[in-house]
Amino acid sequence: MRELDTATFLMTQDNPAGPIIQFVENGIEPQGPMTDADGNVSKASAAAYLVAYAILAGFVGYLIFAL
């Protein structure tokens, strides 16, 4: 996963031409649904994503209708 190289940014933040902004790999893989050995998404992981998206949709619906 890419992240901002804060050491270079902080060293060059007072540069008259502007700071140097670059991104580096930090070695952390992005998160995703849990899979089995064959690469299939498990039923528990799919159910958890379904519940999470239902809660998110309910929250967005609440914000739309309440405000």
* 3-state percent breakdown (helix, strand, coil) of the chain, nearest 5: 45, 10, 45
Q: What is the pLDDT of residue 14?
A: 93
Q: What is the pLDDT of residue 33?
A: 80
Reading the chain (67 residues) residue by residue, the pLDDT tens digits are 789 999 999 999 999 999 999 999 988 887 878 888 888 988 888 999 999 999 999 999 999 998 8
Indicate the pTM of the whole model. Answer: 0.52
Q: What is the pLDDT of residue 36?
A: 81
Q: Is 49 exposed, middle or buried (0-12, 13-18, 19+ CB in 10 A)?
A: middle
Q: What is the pLDDT of residue 4?
A: 92
